[in-house]
Chain A
Amino acid sequence: MSSETLLSVKNLEVTFNTPKGDVHAVRGVSFDLGRERLGIVGESGSGKSQTGRAILGLTAANGKITADQLKFHDVDLANLTPKQWRKVRGARISMIMQDPKYSLNPVMTIGDQIIEAYREHHKVNAKEARHRAIDMLDAVKIRDPERVFNSYPHEVSGGMGQRVMIAMMLIPDPELIIADEPTSALDVTVQLQVMAILDDLVRDRGMALIFISHDLQLVSSFCDRVLVMYQGHVVEEIKASALHEAKHPYTKGLLNCLPKMDGDHSDLPILEREASWAEG
């Protein structure tokens, strides 16, 4: 863990105003992030994705973000104008979305979408931008980058689409990448390939990573530190290498859900939940 703090989150709350009353998606999440790889793990509805979106100020219109502190370097993310946000998004903090089938614009070529991401933050001419984009496609290990550059999103596979997504989000060279379930929509066989590509690039470029996933095992193998979330709270923060020392019963429960090769093959234990965990 590096000493330099990139992102500092203190007591983050995200509340949605719905016709059925307020929904508290995130309740008092705090963490500091250096140039490291942080995993956020939890079930659906635990608030992990909303935590990621709040950092980028992309909470839905009916949601409200409050925090004692939400700082990126010395930028106060809690009070940015739309214009200031555009200098942060993409250029300094970026996010890899879940499913390339929905998160890429179907009527724009892949090349145009990557170039757009680059030229928004770097003043270069079209030729230079094209060159950069093709290099980037090459960097995410796409074999025929020129063809993919001219393709539309529906013409490439899911794994390829997610590599395009990684290329698009990394090309402006941000300092922090939030990967929100980046492999959940992919085949198991492709998941590890895509994760390895992302991991390589993040290490090479010295970026910080927040990896949001429901897959504790995957997170622990690619991250330095893991936050376990339950119902909007962080219930445990633990080093990825020390996962077996987890103290919180919820984390232990998640770990016990995994089948073991050498264990007995009877029924897996069912995750038990206690109401008190949600009070944090």
Chain B
Amino acid sequence: MSAVNRNKRDGRNRARFASGHAATVLRLVFSLAITFFGLLLVTFLIGRVLPIDPVLAAVGDRAPQAVYDRVREEMGLNLPLWQQFFIYISNVLQGNFGQSVLTSNSVLDDIKRVFPATLELATLATIIGVLLGIPAGVFAAINKGKWPDHVVRVIGLAGYSMPIFWLGLMGLLVFYMKLDWVAGPGRLDSFYVDFIEPTTGLMLVDTLIEGDMDLFWNAVSHIILPASILAYFSLAYIARMTRSFMLEQLSQEYILTARVKGISEHRIIWRHALGNVMVPLVTVIALSYANLLEGSVLTEIIFAWPGLGLYITNSLLNADMNAVLGGTIVVGAVFIGVNMLSDVLYRLLDPRARR
């Protein structure tokens, strides 16, 4: 084969590859739009069928009828439902989720404030969970039925069955009160709170941007305990799934092929088997990450963590519908986003899924 020919063919392949990608991206965007539309429709309908009168919530129950009627008209609630939905969609697409009755800020501003707190916590927890959970699962699988396997299973089972609020309180009691290894509730010591200008809203990133290492380590010391506790739960789940995926892969024929070739056990496990385990595992990790991004109410309450879970729960308890719906849309969008991300990773990891 001549070099010219080869180049021509490579070019053609690349073109085919690129157009294939464009089609995939287009399909992805389309399915994303449909899903998001469905999400908006459902949240809108929930907002309308709930027996909470948004007008009453805004004006109070002692307002005269005339005021009530005027506000109702201002809110567009006298319009037909489809028109209301249309307005709702165009508002949401412009980032307008309405005002929060409880905080009297716009819901978008509130979410911009609380979501990074949850994002930071969930991301750190997932990173810890993945970094410890996968090796633990692999370790258990290759020692199936022996003591390391039992240890991992007991740890996993404990992680599954311990109530998180109890674990959180015990963690605070031991590591904060008794040992004083970590800082207490909140994202920073109250002394530091006003020192930092939110750029990304992620405390660890913002403090690094400002180059203030004292603040950074303070933030680390605050986040490490709640993140570890959340990580424990995702670790338990990831380790269990890794173990069972690993056992399945290790019994496949291609593992025997690799052994015939004389490859080291280390490489067989971490390259051959884990390469295949990662395919289903990506979905598992993505779902556990999405669950954490929803905000874990109990952890956020115990650690006074001003996150999304706490915000939505407070809004719900106070019948602050705009905030609840706004929060729901964010949670839904996060789920859609993480699912899409796991789809993309899935394609990267499994050549059979690339079409």
| Cross-chain contact A58 with B254 (CB below 8 angstroms) | no
Query: Of B256, B259, B351, which contacts A154 at CB under 8 A?
Result: B351
Min CB distance, B152 to chain A, in Å? 19
Contacts of B265 in A (CB 8 A): 82
Please indicate which of the listed interface residues A87, A90, A107, A165 has the most CB atoms of chain B within 10 Å of its own CB: A107
Please indicate which of the listed interface residues A88, A99, A117, A155 has the most CB atoms of chain B within 10 Å of its own CB: A117
| Cross-chain contact A88 with B262 (CB below 8 angstroms) | yes
Does A105 reach chain B (CB closer than 8 Å)? yes
Min CB distance, B214 to chain A, in Å? 46
| Cross-chain contact A152 with B254 (CB below 8 angstroms) | no
Does B350 reach chain A (CB closer than 8 Å)? yes
Please indicate which of the listed interface residues A56, A108, A121, A154 has the most CB atoms of chain B within 10 Å of its own CB: A108
Q: Give complex CA distance A7, B262 in Å.
A: 19
Does A168 reach chain B (CB closer than 8 Å)? yes
Report if A89-B260 is in contact (Cβ < 8 Å); known contacts: A105-B275, A107-B276, A108-B272.
Answer: yes
Does A224 reach chain B (CB closer than 8 Å)? no
| Interface members, chain B 222-254 (any A CB < 8 Å) | 252-254
Does A70 reach chain B (CB closer than 8 Å)? no
Size class of the B contact interface (CB-based, 8 Å): 20 to 34
Q: Give complex CA distance A89, B259 in Å.
A: 8
| Interface members, chain A 110-160 (any B CB < 8 Å) | 116-117, 120-121, 146, 152, 154-155
Does B65 reach chain A (CB closer than 8 Å)? no
Query: Of B253, B259, B261, B349, which contacts A116 at CB under 8 A?
Result: B261
| Cross-chain contact B253 with A107 (CB below 8 angstroms) | no
Q: Give complex CA distance A86, B260 in Å.
A: 9
Contacts of B350 in A (CB 8 A): 106-107
Report if A97-B253 is in contact (Cβ < 8 Å); known contacts: A108-B272, A152-B352, A154-B352.
Answer: yes
Look across to chain B and name the residue whose beta carbon is closest to the beta carbon of A93: B260
| Cross-chain contact A90 with B352 (CB below 8 angstroms) | no
Does A104 reach chain B (CB closer than 8 Å)? yes
Q: Give complex CA distance A219, B264 in Å.
A: 33
Report if A90-B260 is in contact (Cβ < 8 Å); known contacts: A105-B276, A106-B276.
Answer: yes
Does A166 reach chain B (CB closer than 8 Å)? no
Look across to chain A and name the residue whose beta carbon is closest to the beta carbon of B351: A152
| Cross-chain contact A168 with B351 (CB below 8 angstroms) | no
Min CB distance, B72 to chain A, in Å? 60
0/1 string, A1-20, CB within 8 A of B gives 1: 00000000000000000000
Report if A58-B259 is in contact (Cβ < 8 Å); known contacts: A105-B276, A108-B272.
Answer: yes
| Cross-chain contact A105 with B261 (CB below 8 angstroms) | no
Look across to chain A and name the residue whose beta carbon is closest to the beta carbon of B275: A107
Contacts of A108 in B (CB 8 A): 272, 275
Min CB distance, B20 to chain A, in Å? 14
Q: Give complex CA distance A46, B296 in Å.
A: 59
| Cross-chain contact B1 with A146 (CB below 8 angstroms) | yes
Min CB distance, A219 to chain B, in Å? 21
Does B89 reach chain A (CB closer than 8 Å)? no
Min CB distance, B6 to chain A, in Å? 7
Does A186 reach chain B (CB closer than 8 Å)? no
- Residues of chain B touching chain A, judged by Cβ–Cβ distance below 8 Å, are 1, 6, 252-254, 256-265, 272, 275-276, 279, 349-352
- The 7 closest A-B CB pairs, nearest first, are A90-B262, A89-B262, A102-B253, A152-B351, A90-B261, A103-B253, A105-B254
Known: A105-B254, A108-B272, A172-B261. 10 other contacts (CB 8 A): A58-B260, A85-B262, A99-B253, A103-B257, A105-B257, A105-B258, A105-B275, A106-B351, A168-B257, A169-B260
